[in-house]
Amino acid sequence: MTRQLKILEHTLASLLRRKAKNLSLLVVYAFTIATLGSVLFLTHALKTEASDSLAAAPELVVQRLAAGRNELIPVAYAERIRALPGVEKVTPRVWGYYYDALVKANFTLMGTAGEAEQIELLEGHLPSNPDECAVGSGVAAIFGAEIGDRLVLIDSHEQNRLYKISGLFSTASSLLTNDLILLPETTLREFFAIDEQRATDLAVEIYNQREVKTLAKKIRFHLPDTRPITRSEILHTYTTIFNWRSGMMLAVTLAALIAFCILAWDKATGISSEEKREIGILKALGWETADVLAIKFWEGLAISLTAFLLGIVAAWLHVFVLGAPALVPILKGWSVIFPDFPLTARVDLLQLLTLAFLTIVPYLACTLIPAWKTAVTDPEQVMRN
Amino acid sequence: MLIKAEKLCKIYNRHQPDEMNAVNDVSLEIERNEVVAITGPSGSGKTSLLSLLGCMSRPTSGRVQLAGRTVSQLPESFLAAIRREHFGFIFQHFNLIREISVIENVLLPLVPTGIPMSQMKLRGDKVLAQLALGDKAKVKANRLSGGEQQRVAIARALIAEPQVIIADEPTAHLDSRLATELLDILTVLHEAGKTILIATHDPYVYEHPLISRVLSMSDGTLRGAVRS
Amino acid sequence: MIRSRLFLGLIGCGVLLCFALLSYGQLQDPDLHGKRQLVKLLGLTDLALFSEARYTRHPSQADLFSAFQDYPAAFEHFPSGSLIAPAPVGLNRWISIHDPNERLP
């Protein structure tokens, strides 16, 4: 114990000799970890957010496909699905997209049948009159609107329509409701000019969870032009959305990682003649190969562990306190309105350990291996060279 | 008998075009508390012989006995312990680690041992005081003069209280005043019971009354005693 | 020994801080009830992250071709499309019927 502590003391003394070099290495290393960590934290938090809240999504959504595209579904299909044993309830839903040329943003317009229940995350109330609407915070922000203000939308007959904002979704829900404009269903049908016989899709509730797949098959069998989407498929979509393959962000950080690897490799493997001489001196003074390697181990660990801890803490603060300002522009893409969402700081421990393993171990290896090659030779030979 | 060498051979770069026979069939015996000088032109194999005797390298053939125990074939970790416990080395170029302090340099041999730091410090202070370096303990090694560096190197060789001091061309970089100082220190060490081995081609050293035996080397072989 | 003790102390603090941050996240109340109620009542199916296109606003509801309007290997149009991996066709995305005469359970 004292022995290792003394070796560590010597290591730190020798690290401090090259302050500028080691400090700059530490900064670059920590920065790489912070970037990688931020991506991992953000995507994992989004994934958790999706799977946590979308667990309450409809068990089955039935769309109609025509010529490979989504089409409006006949409301009559709802009756046929309801007749299948095991189906609890079928709700035709009306929703669609609306592009506002003035603010150059897309919104999602959704019809409500006038649910009586009070929504916790809604300030005000759901639209109860034909000319009322409830909007997400992104919509309110882009129009600078508040409860009681009027929203002007242009319907499919190029007519200006005025809707009074009766409810505003809180920012806590903006990951789900940011671009949402809720209108009474009849109003929305008029707005989009969708007749009573058609709906956007059907939400199906089922008594027994285990029958979802069977029922989906039955629906496909009886209504071959439909496409049922189960809740597990929705959740699966979101677990795959932000996975490691998800391109750009990781590709960008990968470039940083590779650049760092080159730097680390260069720094660690290129054992200088000065370092070789030192190893020779230590061996001549009665240090064993294992002791020399212990120095190199502590040296590698001191740098990589410090950088890892610094990087992780920085990533955490960046994502969960500052709201990932460095990553949001990449995430945002061409979205005009982007949710200002508070994230729950959920971190995947396994992911973190993988990151630790992938950054600390290679660094240790490339400090240890070249030193080991020098340390196993006779001290006399090391000093002669 | 403290050190006994039998038919020592050391060949570098064996079976390669630049093969070199550095030490060739050398046998010698060194008694306790003896002061032996090995002379010879540079490249005659003095340093190679010293490093074989000091367990810094292993002979290609032959063997080295230390206090009756064959040490030349021991595994590396044992050799390291033997170097630490029995030998103190004073190198030609001092071989200090430049950017760390004098005391840190001196204590280096004791770092990979179980000796607590407080005791190490006491021993270090004592050795530095003996060599009149007490006030330089915190100074970085590269800030010292040549003579001071030499004394730090001696202090480092003495810190583990070895029986044998091995010095390789100790006066090569010193003027005559510092060489006298060094020989005075070695005389004190000899009086304290240390065995001393010196490789040198400086007549000032090997003609000094301290030296009890002078061996001459050329082309890797021992040409016998010049003076004893 | 000051340096090594200081170093180990700092590393210890760093590890503790990391654990504190991680456990803070685990203990944080995500207000799932409110969100789930919202999702259930409104029948939401997707996150409102990217609103530039149908397939990025509602990735789980988009038809399989809209992400690749012309050709599956064509370049993505929207930047956020690069974050959204193509739907895993053939996994459980489609519920296919092999034989129309097959008796269903």
**Best of B11, B56, B152 to disrupt the A interface by mutation (most A CBs within 10 Å)?**
B56
Mean pLDDT of the B112-122 span:
89
A188, A298: one domain: no
In a domain, C71, yes or no: yes
Contact between B218 and B41 (Cβ < 8 Å): yes
Could you read off the pLDDT of A92-110 as tens digits, one per residue?
999 999 988 888 888 999 9
* Enclosing domain of residue A102: 60-230
**A138/C48 touch (CB, cutoff 8 Å), yes or no:** yes
State how far the alpha carbon of B10 is from the alpha carbons of A34, A377, B50, in Å: 54, 15, 12
For residue A68, the chain C residues in CB contact (below 8 A) are 63-65
Could you read off the pLDDT of B172-182 as tens digits, one per residue?
878 888 889 88
Nearest to A285 among B108, B114, B117 (CB): B108
Chains that touch A (3 or more CB pairs under 8 A): B, C
For residue A383, the chain B residues in CB contact (below 8 A) are 91, 95
**Best of A115, A226, A244, A309 to disrupt the C interface by mutation (most C CBs within 10 Å)?**
A309
Nearest to A6 among B48, B83, B111 (CB): B111
A315, A267: one domain: yes
In a domain, C29, yes or no: no
Mean pLDDT of the C43-68 span:
77
Percent of chain C with pLDDT over 70: 59
Q: Which two tokens mark B215? A: 């061996």
Q: How far apart are CA A137 and CA A143, in angstroms?
A: 10
Mean pLDDT of the B57-73 span:
89
Contact between B30 and B36 (Cβ < 8 Å): yes
Residue among B130, B127, B135, B2 at smallest CA distance from B71: B2
Nearest to C97 among A110, A213, A220 (CB): A220
pLDDT of residue A272: 78
Nearest residue on chain C to A337, alpha-carbon basis: C51
Q: Is B206 exposed, middle or buried (0-12, 13-18, 19+ CB in 10 A)?
A: buried
Per-residue pLDDT at C84 exceeds 70: no
Q: How far apart are CA A209 and CA A10, in angstroms?
A: 64
Residue B22, SS3 per DSSP:
strand
Nearest residue on chain A to B50, alpha-carbon basis: A380
**A176/C24 touch (CB, cutoff 8 Å), yes or no:** no
A381 to chain C nearest CA, in Å? Answer: 32
Could you read off the pLDDT of A284-299 as tens digits, one per residue?
888 888 999 999 999 9
Mean pLDDT of the A77-81 span:
94
* Enclosing domain of residue C67: 35-86
Instruction: For residue A62, name the pLDDT band (cuts at 50, 70, 90).
Output: very high
Mean pLDDT of the C83-101 span:
52
Question: How many domains does chain C contain in total?
Answer: 1
For residue A19, the chain C residues in CB contact (below 8 A) are none
**Best of A17, A285, A372 to disrupt the B interface by mutation (most B CBs within 10 Å)?**
A285
Nearest residue on chain B to A281, alpha-carbon basis: B95
**C93/A233 touch (CB, cutoff 8 Å), yes or no:** yes
Beta carbons within 8 Å of A271's beta carbon, 6+ residues apart: A370, A371, A374
Q: How far apart are CA A127 and CA A163, in angstroms?
A: 10
Percent of chain B with pLDDT over 70: 98
A348, A247: one domain: yes
Per-residue pLDDT at A31 exceeds 60: yes
Q: How far is CA A278 from the centre of its chain?
A: 48
Instruction: For residue C81, name the pLDDT band (cuts at 50, 70, 90).
Output: low
**B56/A284 touch (CB, cutoff 8 Å), yes or no:** yes
Strand partners, B168: B199
A180, A263: one domain: no
Per-residue pLDDT at A309 exceeds 80: yes
Backbone angles phi, psi at A196, to 5 degrees: -60, -25
**A236/C92 touch (CB, cutoff 8 Å), yes or no:** yes
Residue B168, SS3 per DSSP:
strand
**A175/C36 touch (CB, cutoff 8 Å), yes or no:** no
Could you read off the pLDDT of A319-344 as tens digits, one per residue?
999 988 888 877 776 677 788 777 88
For residue B56, the chain A residues in CB contact (below 8 A) are 284, 378-380
Q: How far apart are CA A343 and CA A341, in angstroms?
A: 6
Residue among B93, B89, B111, B100 at smallest CA distance from B156: B89
Beta carbons within 8 Å of B40's beta carbon, 6+ residues apart: B46, B201, B216, B217, B218, B223
Give the mean pLDDT of chain A.
Answer: 86
Contact between A206 and A212 (Cβ < 8 Å): yes
Interface confidence (ipTM) of the complex: 0.90
Instruction: For residue C104, name the pLDDT band (cuts at 50, 70, 90).
Output: very low
In a domain, C65, yes or no: yes
A17, A65: one domain: no
Per-residue pLDDT at C76 exceeds 60: no
Question: How many domains does chain A contain in total?
Answer: 2
Mean pLDDT of the B79-94 span:
88
In a domain, C69, yes or no: yes
A89, A188: one domain: yes
Q: What share of chain B is helix, strand, coil (3-state, %, to 5)?
A: 35, 30, 35
pLDDT of residue A152: 92
Instruction: For residue A245, name the pLDDT band (cuts at 50, 70, 90).
Output: very low
Backbone angles phi, psi at A342, to 5 degrees: -80, 125
Instruction: For residue A64, name the pLDDT band (cuts at 50, 70, 90).
Output: very high
Per-residue pLDDT at C5 exceeds 50: yes
Percent of chain A with pLDDT over 70: 92
Could you read off the pLDDT of C14-40 as tens digits, one per residue?
999 998 988 888 887 767 888 888 888
Eight-state DSSP code of residue A345: -
Nearest to A286 among B51, B109, B117 (CB): B109
To the nearest 10°, the Cα dihedral for A253, A257, A260, A266? -150
Contact between A27 and A19 (Cβ < 8 Å): no
Q: Is A251 exposed, middle or buried (0-12, 13-18, 19+ CB in 10 A)?
A: exposed
Q: How far apart are CA B107 and CA A216, in angstroms?
A: 78
Q: Which two tokens mark B102? A: 């004098």
Of residues A196 and C50, more confidently modeled: A196
CB count, 10 Å around CB of B138?
A: 9
Beta carbons within 8 Å of C28's beta carbon, 6+ residues apart: A344, A345, A346
Per-residue pLDDT at C68 exceeds 80: no
In a domain, C26, yes or no: no
In a domain, C24, yes or no: no
A305, A337: one domain: yes
Strand partners, B204: none
A48, A71: one domain: no
Q: Give contacts of B 74-93 with A, CB under 8 A.
A: 76-77, 80-85, 89, 91
**C38/A177 touch (CB, cutoff 8 Å), yes or no:** yes
In a domain, C2, yes or no: no
Q: How far apart are CA C43 and CA A186, in angstroms?
A: 17
A80, A45: one domain: no
**C22/A112 touch (CB, cutoff 8 Å), yes or no:** no
A207, A273: one domain: no
Residue among A46, A344, A142, B52 at smallest CA distance from C46: A46
In a domain, C104, yes or no: no
Contact between A298 and A10 (Cβ < 8 Å): no
Q: Which two tokens mark A32? A: 């790489």
Instruction: Tell me which amino acid residue C42 is.
Output: L
Give the mean pLDDT of chain C.
Answer: 72
A48, A194: one domain: no
Q: How far apart are CA B119 and CA A207, in angstroms?
A: 78
Q: Say how many residues make up chain A.
A: 385
The model carries a pTM of 0.81
Give the mean pLDDT of chain B.
Answer: 89
Mean pLDDT of the A29-49 span:
86
State how far the alpha carbon of B97 is from the alpha carbons of A337, A380, B19, B80, B166, in Å: 61, 17, 32, 19, 19
**A277/B160 touch (CB, cutoff 8 Å), yes or no:** no
Radius of gyration of chain C (CA): 24
Could you read off the pLDDT of A132-181 as tens digits, one per residue?
999 999 999 999 999 999 999 998 888 899 999 999 999 888 889 999 99
Nearest residue on chain A to C37, alpha-carbon basis: A119
Eight-state DSSP code of residue A319: I
Mean pLDDT of the A47-55 span:
87
Nearest to A17 among B48, B95, B99 (CB): B99
Mean pLDDT of the B98-119 span:
90
Beta carbons within 8 Å of A85's beta carbon, 6+ residues apart: none
State whether residue B187 sits within 8 Å of chain A by CB. no
For residue A286, the chain B residues in CB contact (below 8 A) are 80-85, 109, 112, 160
**Best of C44, C55, C75 to disrupt the A interface by mutation (most A CBs within 10 Å)?**
C44
Chains that touch B (3 or more CB pairs under 8 A): A
pLDDT of residue C105: 46
